[in-house]
Amino acid sequence: MSAEATDPGNHGAAARKRGRRRLELRGLRRIGRAALLGPAPRDGRPHALEHVAKVHRHHHPDADLDTLTQAYLLAESSHRGQLRKSGEPYITHPLAVTLILAELGAETTTLTASLLHDTVEDTEVTLDQVRELFGDEVCYLVDGVTKLEKVGYGAAAEPETFRKMLVATGNDVRVMSIKLADRLHNMRTLGVMRPEKQARIAKVTRDVLIPLAERLGVQALKAELEDLVFAILHPEEYATTRALVTTYATRPDPLAVLAGRMRAVLAEAGIDAEVQVRPRHFVSVHRVRLARRELTGADLGRLLVLVAEDADCYAVLGELHTCFTPVVSEFKDFIAAPKFNLYQSLHTAVTGPSGEIAETLIRTHQMHRVAEAGVIALGNPYAPTDGTDAPEGERADPTRPGWLSRLLEWQRTTPDPDTFWTSLRDDLAQDREITVFCADAPSDGSSGPAGATIGLPAGASCVDAAYARHGEAAHCCIGARVNGRLATLSTVLHDGDSLQLLMAPDSAAGPLPEWLEQARTPAARLAIARWLAGRQDPGARPAGHGETSAAAPAADRRSTGQDRPGADPAPASLLAVADLPGAAVRLAGCCTPVPPDTVTGFAVRGGTVTVHRALCPVVARMAATGRQPVGVRWRGAGHGGHGCRVTLLAEAFSRPQLLADLTEAIASQGAAVVSAAVEPPHEQRVRHTYTLHLPNAAGLPSLMRAMRQVPGVFDVLRAGRARQAAVLGP
């Protein structure tokens, strides 16, 4: 950690010009001077700790500072004589890290650990001494951020150190809070490093630390880290953006004028609100410039409206949309549906008097603290409340880190450091998360509770959901229903989707090689790759995934008739009557309508009227070409007393004797098989098509129910209905 240092007159000066807060600047200067003077106490506290204590008391008025004082004295005496590469006393680094966390509202335990975070790594202090002096919590946090030695791990030291930190973060998110503050101070003072080392550290910060800051909701740290990385890795774009911001700084600010109007509108409405202009950081300005090509003064910032209660947020929104012209497409409600990293706010945009568009954020003061500091604003998220002890072994994680649970799960099965490091970067590159409700498929034999909410990265497919839900057992997944409709495993899921995974009864089934391309989560890709690597020919299709299998004999796979869906129409019907005098009537073979289906007809050559179900896709195509429908009605009042012909599609898992069992179920309902066809199995699923003669159309519902009860059958539907839109029932 001491390796990331610099001359404060070089890169540090540039960073200060990029808008570091004045209070923080004064605090850092004071810390530097006090550290040179040593730990001489004043009013019971060392000079160097005065500013940290003042900021900490601002957020926590009742904080006990004696522990901080003891931690500082131990850190200062342990690091005494050590210098940073800039020539400053080394103690200035843990003090600066502690000040960063104090500014964000961290509680005393976190600040104590941040003062000591380098002692075990860089001095003779041991973890046992830290535990004896400051307790188990502080010891755990210090151990969590302590690097592994390169002597023992070599090139694997960095990835294994991050693995260690992530595992520790899984038990206490404050570990990563300290690491993020540590990296921020090192990035601020990176200028004395060689350019190649600056670039290496900046890339790791970009690929790993910034995404972690986003996931933990610490936007204040994330924004500054992004700007520091931007300056190192993209100096030309950074210089252009900085010059652009400087140019607009000399011009009147349209957002300031609009903020004044908003204050007046809200005051007149009796809403107590604070309206601020929030400048964008440089990376944000750069992204807006790329998206809009040309910028206006209003694009360099956003308006922030702070209120006391949640209800006030919506009251402000109503007033702004009433008194200003809103940009409807820009509205987002992250209060009703918070982001996965705790973020809550209303987002909107309104048009000013000169036509400028001002993005506006509306939130409570508490929401704002969480938006800036994320998990740090929660204090100690694991402290018992209401004077009661937390249940043994249970910790209600306020960050709801589904991403962290997934990460911790797949890292356990990834011992190789290079694979872990690559997978970690890929996982963190997914910058959004979705929530899917996953219900067990009937008769799938899977383990786990019936129904569960799972978090997935945006863009995840059904393959990812299967492995997140069932782990290695997902090898047997052969399909899914998304929001009640059959879907392929490559289907991309969206936030709020309902998912039912279809699992094969044969545990010998395995994933296809193309699943690797359909999976986005490391857990799924690693599990699939392990399964494929365990086969002699990874490119071969497993049994039941598209090859002929023992599930259906050769005779079963041949059509036993010509009356398939879309074949020639059925013979002339005695069931239906057309509103066209003298016309013969035929029931269409594509949808095989039966009473009491809603039907329509179309005249074809020869004066015949073909009758289709109203839902048949052919009807829409006919209407699109301008064909005029002919009225058709069923003969007789009862409709159900006549024999009829119908085509049914049975979706099932491929297994031996399936055709025989289905045929028996059909015969038990008194129906006769006119023709049958079995498509080749694909992904261990098979589709049977039956054209049947029913003695009575009223028996169709019971026939379909009997077919669905055949083991392995998961859907039976009428021909002519769109497959993806199929619903159970005739």
Q: Do residues 406 and 468 touch, judged by C-beta distance below 8 A? A: yes
Alpha helices in 80-173 (DSSP H): 92-103, 108-115, 119-122, 127-134, 136-145, 150-153, 157-171
Cross-strand bridge partners of residue 89: 83
CA angle (306, 312, 316) in 5-degree steps: 75
d(CA 488, CA 480): 6
Long-range CB contacts (< 8 A, 24+ apart) of 121-125? Answer: 121/1, 121/146, 121/147, 122/1, 122/2, 122/79, 122/82, 122/90, 123/78, 123/79, 123/82, 124/78, 125/74, 125/78
Q: Distance from CA of residue 572 to its chain's centroid?
A: 56
d(CA 618, CA 620): 5
Q: Do residues 632 and 601 touch, judged by C-beta distance below 8 A? A: yes
- Is 122 an annotated catalytic residue? yes
Q: Do residues 730 and 718 touch, judged by C-beta distance below 8 A? A: yes
From 448, 453, 450, select the one nearest 437 (Cα to Cα). 453
**Order of strands across the sheet with 599-603?**
584-587, 608-613, 599-603
From 531, 537, 481, 480, select the one nearest 507 (Cα to Cα). 531
CA-based R_g, the chain, Å:
34
d(CA 97, CA 71): 14
Q: Do residues 79 and 90 touch, judged by C-beta distance below 8 A? A: yes
d(CA 8, CA 185): 11
From 445, 440, 444, select the one nearest 465 (Cα to Cα). 440
The two tokens of residue 464 are 């990812």
- Is 397 an annotated catalytic residue? no
Q: How far apart are the two ends of the chain, measured CA to CA in Å?
A: 69
Classify burial at 272, counting beta carbons within 10 Å of its beta carbon; exposed 0-12, middle 13-18, buried 19 or more: exposed
Which is the catalytic residue, given 7, 121, 333, 409?
Answer: 121
d(CA 159, CA 481): 38
d(CA 15, CA 288): 21
The two tokens of residue 285 are 């300005």
Which is the catalytic residue, given 122, 253, 397, 514?
Answer: 122
d(CA 115, CA 690): 75
Q: Half-sphere exposure (CA, 13 Å, Cβ side) for 440?
A: 12
d(CA 168, CA 253): 46
Residue that the structure tokens 């595992």 belong to: 167
**Order of strands across the sheet with 433-440?**
452-457, 433-440, 498-503, 477-482, 485-487
d(CA 180, CA 697): 70
Q: Do residues 12 and 187 touch, judged by C-beta distance below 8 A? A: no
Q: Which residues are catalytic?
A: 121-122
